[in-house]
Structure 1
Amino acid sequence: MTSIIGRSTDITTVEDLAYISAADALELFRAKELSPVELMQALIDRAEQLEPQINAFAETFFDDALEMARRAADAYAGDGHRARPLEGLAVAIKEEVPIQGLSHTEGSLTHAGHIATETAPLAQRIFDAGGIMHARTTTPEFCCAPFTQSRMWGLTPTPWDFTKSAGGSSGGSGAALAAGTTTLATGSDIGGSIRIPAAFCGVVGFKPSYGRVPDVPPWNLDHYCQNGPLARTVDDAALLFGIMQGHHPDDIATLAPTLDMPARLPDVTGWRVALCVNLGDYEIEQAIEDNLRAEAEQLRQLGFIVDEIELPWTRGQIKAMLDAHFGHIAGAAAARHAVDNADLLNDYTLDFIERSTAGAAAMTMAETYEAEAQFYRPLSRVFEQYRILLCPTLATIALDAGQSYVDRGPTINGKVASNVERDGLMTGPFNILGRCPSTAVPTGFDANGMPTSAQFVGRPYQDIDSLAAAAALDRSRSRYSDSSGRPTFS
């Protein structure tokens, strides 16, 4: 393969090409130095090699994708005026997203054979922008777990260590990006389902503010639930978010007017950032804290003002709100399938139904709203002085692949905690506060080579702030640009 010099990535191998950023690929397409067909073939070749190990794809459309890549190449002919914003880029779309005429099982044997009768607006926007869906990605059953495994699709590990989980529920999307089998991917996030796999897979995940990206009923009305992008760089995540977001006439919850996305994220010099290491009373894996503090220092070197703060939140308070909310909505939806088909459900799904049902019995919907309002108040005081809250994405480095965690929690600093959601995940607070956007960004590795992650949380509806601050850090170091920053495969 011809070496392309002077870019953020020098492309000398098929692996280099598979890991190229979306922004670089588009630039090379326009310069006619790279063909969409060449890039798509590299991704397909890599997927055919790695998928037996990674299991990130629930369904593939490789022949159709190559044909669409050929059409994309034609769009760049001449002055390239026919090329659309995502023209020729591979976008892996989470199987949870309905696409007319394709399977829509949500990873459950209870839905085997279900075919979608309509296409979700976010998928249609990707298609209309020239994105090519070459695959759909795996999830846990009903997207109700922070890991990706199911009786329908099996296990999806993180490419960094096949004995550890890719996270969930958008685990297939995170794993595919880390493995270099897609350029962009979609996810959805009701309790961390974009940011958890981003953290475990060492990629970027953006949970937008509630109402930014259209969804299908009933999830469009759930203020905990947002759809968003996953990518290997923040700039790529911003690119895909710009296509996905915006008011849609069929979704009453989408915000109007549509957010005006800048061509380049704004300068952040001098922004004030509040660093909160424990978000109240979480115990954090030491490597996560060490890497977070190192990144805070890097932000200072980049011109940010970073001060450490504390929040009066507790894990018990957070879990009670999450359990009650899920019990009233997501848990109730899953419970309908347990009435006659409990034998087809995964053990973690049954556990989720039981826990969330108990949570809903303990707190009415009105009481959850009251609790959420009180929960935001200390953060609102922080946002009076600071533009961004910086905190860990997770308290644990990894979850064991294949473990359903119905009777134990994650390992943190060598000790086994009692509950994954309460002790291991630090994403839920920003679903409770769903109007606050959050960008999860890799911060480095632990001693065993596993990735760590931090969240850049913006003030309500300030999506561009969250992305811009995260991008400043992201651009300051090189990831995935050469083999030293990528997972290794035997």
Structure 2
Amino acid sequence: MSDLALLTAAECAEGFRSGRLSPVDVAAACLARIERHDPALNAFCIVDADGALAAARASEARWRKGAPLSPLDGVPATVKDLVSMAGFPFRRGSRATPASADGIADAPAVARLREAGAVILGKTTTPEYGHKAVTESTLCGITRNPWDPAKTPGGSSGGAAVAAATGMGVLHLGTDAGGSIRIPAAFTGVFGLKPTAYRVPMHPASAFGHLAVQGPLTRTVADARAMMDVITRHDPRDWAAPPVRIADMDRRSAANGLRVGHLRTLGDAPVSAEVEACVDAAVRALEGLGAEVTPLALDMREAADMFETIWSGTALALVQAAGPQAETMEPSLLAIAERGRTVDAGRFAAALAGCAVLADRLQALFARFDVLTLPAMPIAAFEVGRDQPGDPDPRGWPAWTPFSYPFNLTRHPAASLPCGLTAEGLPVGLQIVAPPFRDGLALDVAEALEAVLPMPLPPCVCEDA
């Protein structure tokens, strides 16, 4: 416990319960990390040091009385700025949104974290409305990768991922409509879970509709599990969320006997040799833990057109709703919306219907396998200041993230677990996909692998030791 900013949620709770640690000291350690690293990395758009320390003092008093609100009482957390939080502007990375906090209420997941006693440090950066897979905006600037500040952390939950990787908080709430949790998790060497659609109640609804979910980014799988146990609790504001809590957050199984279908790619999408090597090593580790791994081929190329149709059509509605303020929006978002002008009602309806076809195809696989594994990303992080690696592709960011958005279309839970480093020292992620509402199973598999695939800390964090 020499570095309070790098404690897990369970270590925090144990220290608070025994009296060896104070929530105030842990919050102060995380705030010190923010003060040291955030000027270079830009993970936060808002830091609420006074509010966090006040919440930590209240938590300290509860622990001293032996009456904590939950095991997460006093644990530092952050909220992505695509999620509303009372008392703070809800800018969504956009200059088209008001800077006032008037009328802003806690989103369900934020309300559950507060009820559990979590200490919220601030809000993390996002590209405008989360519309692209790097974390850069004209409102908040460029967010950088702690493994190499010349590289992008990915997006759109890049701020949350960077905060997780560097000890600027323990629990980090992100969003994912096409890979926005898993992409930065893979690029920054942290764990990220895109839950089953509707598993985490949301309000207000995402600008990108049923594609979007909210979920955790953390340094450990156990922290994500503890966070999911809280943020999945029912909230009547989300009519689509399950009214009855699904209890699968307790760890139930190891990898022994697990039936794993392994996809080295989807369709013919290319994968870099270094990513492939790291992912193959992770799959061999699963076999070493007793899993039965079967190589699979799966063609989901039609997902690209479905996603483009839904994404661009929804972006057009978003831009149109902004009215005159749309003039302040970023060219990359406006370009997506412009493509949406070619989407008629029939094409949009066909894309939505196609999602069910894709989901049925996956469900047939889950009759044979417990989980599927594949790369989270086909490449490692690339240079900041650009939206795409290599030559520009008219398809935009989905062209270089072919393994993430299909599972937003099918609504399956999918996690990214760090599984190694490239020769350049950049993280690689293994994606674990589970059947709907079996989020706990994805966590089980990830936790079993995590124990045999330890991940080092970013260089800037090691320098703090």
**Which runs of no fewer than 5 residues in structure 2 stay unpaired?**
none
Pairwise mapping of residues 2-401 of structure 1 onto structure 2 (< 5 A)? 11-12=1-2, 16-77=3-64, 80-115=66-101, 116-219=103-206, 222-314=209-301, 317-337=302-322, 339-358=323-342, 360-361=343-344, 364-401=347-384
Q: Residue type of the partner of 1:293?
A: D
Q: Residue type of the partner of 1:340?
A: P
406, 428, 435: which is aligned to 2:405? 428
Q: Residue type of the partner of 2:408?
A: N
- Could you tell me how far apart the structure 1 residues matched to 2:5 and 2:144 are? 19
What TM-score do you get using the length of structure 2 for normalisation?
0.94
Shift of the 362–374 alpha-carbon distance from structure 1 to 2, 3 Å rule, reads same
Task: Classify the secondary structure of the residue corresponding to 2:149.
Answer: strand
406, 422, 440: which is aligned to 1:446? 422
- Could you tell me how far apart the structure 2 residues matched to 1:261 and 1:384 are? 20
CA offsets, 1:266-320, max 9 Å, x none? 3342110111011111101111111000000000111111111000222xx2221
Shift of the 118–167 alpha-carbon distance from structure 1 to 2, 3 Å rule, reads same
- Could you tell me how far apart the structure 2 residues matched to 1:452 and 1:176 are? 18
Q: Is the 8 A contact 1:265 1:467 kept in 2?
A: no
Q: Is the 8 A contact 1:281 1:313 kept in 2?
A: no
Shift of the 255–20 alpha-carbon distance from structure 1 to 2, 3 Å rule, reads same
CA offsets, 1:311-361, max 9 Å, x none? 0222xx222111111233344213432x52344111221122123443x34
Q: Is the 8 A contact 2:199 2:242 kept in 1?
A: yes
Q: Residue type of the partner of 2:357?
A: Q
Q: Is the 8 A contact 1:43 1:181 kept in 2?
A: yes
Q: Is the 8 A contact 1:25 1:34 kept in 2?
A: yes
The number of residue pairs the alignment matches comes to: 463
- Could you tell me how far apart the structure 1 residues matched to 2:84 and 2:193 are? 21
Task: Classify the secondary structure of the residue corresponding to 1:460.
Answer: coil
What TM-score do you get using the length of structure 1 for normalisation?
0.89
Shift of the 446–197 alpha-carbon distance from structure 1 to 2, 3 Å rule, reads same
Q: CA deviation at 1:165?
A: 1.1
- Could you tell me how far apart the structure 2 residues matched to 1:357 and 1:31 are? 60
Q: Residue type of the partner of 1:100?
A: A
- Could you tell me how far apart the structure 2 residues matched to 1:478 and 1:191 are? 27
**Which runs of no fewer than 5 residues in structure 1 stay unpaired?**
1-10
Let me know the Cα RMSD of the aligned residues. 2.3
- Which is further off, 156-165 or 265-274? 265-274
Q: CA deviation at 1:95?
A: 1.4
2:455 alignment partner in structure 1: 479
Percent of residue pairs bearing the same amino acid type: 31
